[in-house]
Structure 1
Amino acid sequence: MLSGILLGTVLGILCGAVSGLIPGIHANTVAGLLLSLQALLLAWFEPVVIASAMFATLVTHTFLDNVPATFLGIPDAETSLAVLPAHALCLDGRGEEAVRISALGSAAGVALSLPLALGFVLVLPALQPAIDWGIGLIILAVGGYLVVVSESPGWAFAVFAVSGILGVFALGCSYLAWPAGGESGVLMPLLSGLFGVSVLLGGSQGKMPEQRFQGLDIPAGALRRGSILGSAAGALVGWLPGLSSATANTLLTSVVGYDSNPREYILATSAANTVNAFLGLAAFYAISRTRNGVMAAISALEDMPPATAILLAGALAAVGAYLLTILFSRAAGLFSGVNVRALNRAVIIFIVMLSFVLCGPFGILVLLLATAVGCVPALVNIRRVYCMGAIMLPVMVYSFGLA
């Protein structure tokens, strides 16, 4: 079995590198592809190889998805808010530092996820009915708190509500999208409009400053605090149904400001992203619930391997993914002197094309509406976090049984 775990891990690292570095491709997509090839793969490999490859892909993706977010400013569901401080550091000549901090956060998340998973498995299954009932109330309380402490509560509520209605519309009518992007493919144009195109349209001018790495400028206290807070948020959304890393990002903004503490926020969200993957696996084996597409694909395998085998594959993948992330962080030098306006235009064109390929005309409509909403925070001088209503309101609607 060990040789199968190692083989699956290597395959998963390769697949995760592709999905993490290419915007629009998610680990869920790769898992679905492997599942569709199950009959062919089982003729050559043990089931543990396929399952290990799926989970290793997910873990690797959580490490590497911050690379395009940092250098290009293209968000996905996991980096929707983290892209703002990461890309800002890149525009300040510290892109490599931003990527290395995210890698450090993910590594800390791996180290903390195992004891968290054990504690959750032992305690939470008996409390699951009460937990399921209270999810919507938790999200409602967090959203209300963020609005109340806003610089302008009226505008904050308006942006939160409008983006939330847009999220309900986009996800509720996702059947209008082309099937290429899968059921969650509509998240790409939705979040790219709110946090990508709208930012790039008003982005910096001139040339990208010289990228220099002068070490990690993050205090030890912020390192510890960000790792613990991020891991706790990732564990929460990894176990609870209907939540995602995007929700964790929003929760973290209530305690770690992405504008006032950008490095700590990047570290915390990266930890949350990776812990979410491991706790999703724990929830699957403990209470038989799938929290993401990868877990759904593993559950559909003809012969599921034990949890210890999948955890080992994830831990090994984390080591390889960390090294790959450090390697790709050095690509920051390639952006030195690049015309920022031309780069922004190229990224916007890429996002439009990708939205059309994944979701068709419906994706373009969602992208246009999301971009319009995403431009409002800068005009009224509030934080962009309130655009996360696009994720939080649909979760509340789902939790309260309204859809």
Structure 2
Amino acid sequence: MMIEILLGVLAGVILGTISGIIPGVHANTLAGVLVGLQAVFLALLGPVALACTLFSALITHTFVDAIPSTFLGIPDADTALAVLPAHALCLEGNGEEAVRIAVLGSACAMVIAVPLSLVCFLLLPALQPWFDWWIGILLIAAVGWMLVTNDAPLWGLAIFLVSGILGIFALRYAFLGWHTLTGSNAILMPLLCGLFGISGLLTASRGTIPEQQFRGIRIPDRMVARSSVLGTAAGIAVGWLPGLSTASANGVLASVIGYDRDRRAYLLATNAANTANAFIGLAALFALERMRNGVIAALAELPLPSMGDLMVAGVLAACAAYLITVWLSRSAHRIGRLDNLLLNHVVIAFVVGLSILLTGPFGLLVLILATAVGFVPRLINLPAVYCMGSIMIPVMLWSFGIT
């Protein structure tokens, strides 16, 4: 059994590193490919190793995806808002620090989330009906707080509502896209890349990327502890509660930790939420038989080992992913003196091509519309967090039974 777990961890770390380092690609894409070729991989790896491969790839991806978010400015669907402070730090020459802060948050989340996942597995299923109803109320309160603390609440509300309408449109008609390998949630890739990635790259400054220098992680230990706890709590909440995603957690965290004010703390918290979400999603699968993301849904189709075996695989993958991501971040100095405008155009072309490949013409339409909406906060100097209405409004409607 242990040999199969180790084999699965090795394969999952390799696949998760590949998916994490390619901008705009989610671990769900790999999960779709593996499930599509399930018969072949079952024959090669066996059910235990294949299950460990999928979960290890998911955990590894939550670490490694800090690389494209930081150095290319393109978000993963789960960490859309984290790209803003991470890429800003890169443009100041602190890209390696940003990556190390991100993986520190993920590592802290692993330490906290694994035991808490076991607690949730044992205690929370009986309270699930009550949780389901209160999701919408929680999100309305979070949005209300963000609006009343903003200097231009009416503009913020308008952006939130328009992006919400776009999110409803994209999710409602996701079946129009090509998603034979990635699932209907693939539409989140062009939606969030347009709102938070391309819209920022098109307005980015010209010139060269500053020389990258690592001067240490400049965040107080107390802030590390606070942000880790907040991020892990948010990740556990959205990982357990139905209808939510880590993108929703990012929006809630932005109302507590200002990503434009405390960039390092926010970056650490959002990456902690992303990793915690992965671990708690596994507990929700075993406790409630509910699938929180594409990888967990793929796991549900396999003969599964015990939850403990998969947790061990996830912890081993997290340790390996931490070392790999830190090692990759040390190559940051190589992007110094590159032409920023040319690099941005190359990344934009890649994301457009990937959107067409994964979601077809409908995904391209969503990408164009999302980019247009994402421009608005930048034009009027408002935080881009209000574009999270694209995720939060559909979840609110779902919570209140309005499909």
TM-score by length of 1: 0.97
Q: How far, CA to CA, are the matches of 2:133 and 2:96 in structure 1? A: 42
Q: How far, CA to CA, are the matches of 1:129 and 1:116 in structure 2? A: 20
Q: How far, CA to CA, are the matches of 1:398 and 1:121 in structure 2? A: 24
Q: Deviations over 1:223-247 (max 9, x none)?
A: 1111110000001011011111111
Q: Deviations over 1:280-301 (max 9, x none)?
A: 0011111221111111111111
Q: How far, CA to CA, are the matches of 1:46 and 1:362 in structure 2? A: 37
| Partner residue in 2 for 1:265 | 266
The alpha carbon displacement at 1:173 in A equals 0.6
**Contact map agreement 2:24 2:193 (CA 8 A) in 1:** no
| Partner residue in 2 for 1:84 | 84
Q: Deviations over 1:77-130 (max 9, x none)?
A: 122000000000000001011001111110001000122112212321111001
Bigger drift between 174-183 and 141-150 goes to 174-183
RMSD (Å) for aligned C-alpha atoms: 1.2
| Partner residue in 1 for 2:210 | 209
| Partner residue in 2 for 1:176 | 176
2:198 aligned partner, one-letter code: V
SS at match of 2:257: coil
SS at match of 1:186: helix
Q: For 1:4-403, what aligned pairs fall within 5 Å after superposition?
A: 4-179=4-179, 181-301=182-302, 303-403=303-403
Q: Deviations over 1:119-157 (max 9, x none)?
A: 212321111001011111111221122122212010000
Bigger drift between 101-110 and 347-356 goes to 347-356
Q: How far, CA to CA, are the matches of 1:41 and 1:68 in structure 2? A: 29
Q: How far, CA to CA, are the matches of 1:235 and 1:338 in structure 2? A: 39
2:108 aligned partner, one-letter code: A
SS at match of 1:184: helix
Q: Runs of at least 4 residues of structure 1 off by over 4 A?
A: none
Percent of paired sites with the same residue: 55
1:261 aligned partner, one-letter code: D
Q: How far, CA to CA, are the matches of 1:366 and 1:41 in structure 2? A: 34
SS at match of 2:256: coil
2:53 aligned partner, one-letter code: A
2:229 aligned partner, one-letter code: I
Q: How far, CA to CA, are the matches of 1:269 and 1:24 in structure 2? A: 17
2:277 aligned partner, one-letter code: N
Q: How far, CA to CA, are the matches of 1:353 and 1:172 in structure 2? A: 23
1:189 aligned partner, one-letter code: P
1:246 aligned partner, one-letter code: A
The alpha carbon displacement at 1:210 in A equals 0.8
Q: How far, CA to CA, are the matches of 1:255 and 1:200 in structure 2? A: 26
Bigger drift between 175-184 and 341-350 goes to 175-184
2:383 aligned partner, one-letter code: R
SS at match of 1:254: helix
Bigger drift between 20-29 and 185-194 goes to 20-29
Q: Give the gaps of 5 or more residues in structure 1.
A: none
Q: How far, CA to CA, are the matches of 2:289 and 2:203 in structure 1? A: 45
Q: How far, CA to CA, are the matches of 2:372 and 2:379 in structure 1? A: 11
SS at match of 1:179: coil
Q: How far, CA to CA, are the matches of 1:41 and 1:338 in structure 2? A: 41
Bigger drift between 51-60 and 72-81 goes to 72-81
Q: How far, CA to CA, are the matches of 2:326 and 2:239 in structure 1? A: 26
The alpha carbon displacement at 1:256 in A equals 0.7
SS at match of 2:291: coil
Q: How far, CA to CA, are the matches of 2:383 and 2:158 in structure 1? A: 13
1:288 aligned partner, one-letter code: E
2:102 aligned partner, one-letter code: S
Q: How far, CA to CA, are the matches of 2:208 and 2:60 in structure 1? A: 32
Does the C-alpha gap of structure 1 residues 286 and 208 become closer, same or farther in structure 2, counting only changes over 3 Å? same
